Structure 1
Amino acid sequence: MAEKGRVLSSYEINPYTMMIRPAGDEYSEVIEAGARYLVSCRPFDIVKRSCAYFGSSYSGRRDGTKQLIGITYKAPIIVDPYTSIYLFPTASPASPQCVWISHDYIASYEKNGPYATVVTFQNSESFDLPVSFYSLENQVSRTAMLRIKFTQNMKRMEKFNKKPAHLLHNRASEPNGAYWINE
């Protein structure tokens, strides 16, 4: 937890965010690699606000997922493509029980009853979550599909972005007020 008794009024998802889960009706517990925070808003509100922080709306991120992999229900999203923050919900995002998990930090998960799964993160912290093993496994797979498709598209675009070497090293200079290119 942050300082004892301290509640944050807002939070932006970042590359250290591992999980965001509900803590009562109006709060969230944010688990980062090495820190925990109590935030005075619901997990879905944190996700929506973070999407906006990184230049898109939640619905825009969800529509992007639909375009890339055709998923619309419990869709994983790319919160920030630049830092590769991929999150997935464990239930309908509007559900008060929905937990948001970062795909990057999952080390393993195992069944712990018909509607519970223990998720272990890369820092060895484990959490018993109210989601069936098969549902969680499906969400992990969908998020991997989203990551692969987005990465493939970016690599395809990088091929078009390669300029001939002689164009990368040109310099403009202005002898006697005229523009010309040094090569």
Structure 2
Amino acid sequence: MVNEMRVNYEITPLTLAVLAEEIDGHYTSVVMEDDQRFFVNKPPSRLIDYACKFFGSSLRGRQEGTKGICGITHKAPISIDPSSGMYFFPTSSPLNPDCSWISHSHIDRILKISTDHSAIIFKNGSNVTLEISHGSLLNQLQRTAQFRYLLDNRIKYLLKNTIDIVAEPF
């Protein structure tokens, strides 16, 4: 149950999803975190953008990074912070105000509810039903997994090959 409205919220590794909710013609977010759900008085893509900026980039910058790594240009998954496993994917175009964002790390399984509705079951047992086809949701899940694999391999390669580098003394 959602019963709290917050002005601000910082996305963390515990965030399961940031869901778009229209209230009186204004889009807000319903944040799912562990066993909690609460409103944040900002649209989901803005919360995602703020989280990206906290880690030194922006939503646009993260989208460009995804494009450079694996060529995905539409509904691109992003890494807010790869070191803490914060990979999210959008349910529609992030330019669309009803776009929600789902954390890849917390998904247990996806169920088909109807032709255009699917349920996401999270690892902690909570769930959400979204207006998105099962096929589209599976595609987003797989694209995020591929992006995550490629980015993680790049990071591992850099760490492995820079271990012998010693900082120059002043």
User: Partner of 1:11 in structure 2?
Assistant: 9
Q: How many residues align?
A: 165
- Provide TM-score, normalisation by structure 1: 0.84
| Paired position in structure 1 for 2:113 | 112
Instruction: Summarize the alignment of residues 84-163 of structure 1 with structure 2, pairs less than 5 Å apart.
Output: 84-163=85-164
Aligned to 2:56: 55
Letter in 2 for 1:154: I
| 1:42 correspondence with 2:43 | yes
Q: What secondary structure does 1:27 align onto?
A: strand
Aligned equivalents of 1:118 and 1:7: distance in 2?
24
Q: Deviation at 1:157? A: 1.0
Are the aligned partners of 2:77 and 2:89 in contact in 1 as well (CA < 8 Å)? yes
Equivalent pair of 2:86/2:103 in contact (CA under 8 Å)? yes
User: Could you tell me which residue of structure 1 aligns to residue 72 of structure 2?
Assistant: 71
Deviation at 1:94, TM superposition (A): 1.6
- The answer to whether the Cα contact below 8 Å between 2:80 and 2:88 also exists between their aligned partners in 1 is yes
1:35 & 1:110 partners in 2: Cα distance?
A: 22
What TM-score comes out, normalization by structure 2 length?
Answer: 0.91
3-state secondary structure, aligned to 1:82:
helix
Alpha-carbon shift at residue 138 of structure 1 (Å) = 0.4
For 2:132 and 2:111, locate their aligned partners in 1 and report how far apart those are by CA, in whole Å. Answer: 11
Higher relative contact order (CA 8 A, sep 6+): 2
Q: Counterpart of 2:6 in 1: which secondary structure?
A: coil
Task: Output the aligned Cα RMSD.
Answer: 1.8
| Equivalent residue number for residue 21 of structure 1 | 19
Task: Tell me the SS of whatever aligns to 1:11.
Answer: coil
Deviation string 1:96-149 (CA, Å, 9 cap, x unpaired) is 321100000000011111111011000111211100000000000000011100
Which runs of 5 or more residues in structure 1 are unaligned? 173-183
- State the percentage of identical aligned residues: 36
**Matched residue SS, 1:66:** helix
Between Structure 1 and Structure 2, the one with more strand by share is 2
* 2: CA distance, partners of 1:26 / 1:140: 25
Find the aligned partners of 2:53 and 2:163 in 1 and give their Cα distance: 31
| Structure 2: runs of 5+ lacking an equivalent | none
| Contact preservation (8 Å) 2:111, 2:119 | yes
Equivalent residues of 2:77, 2:87 under 8 A apart: yes
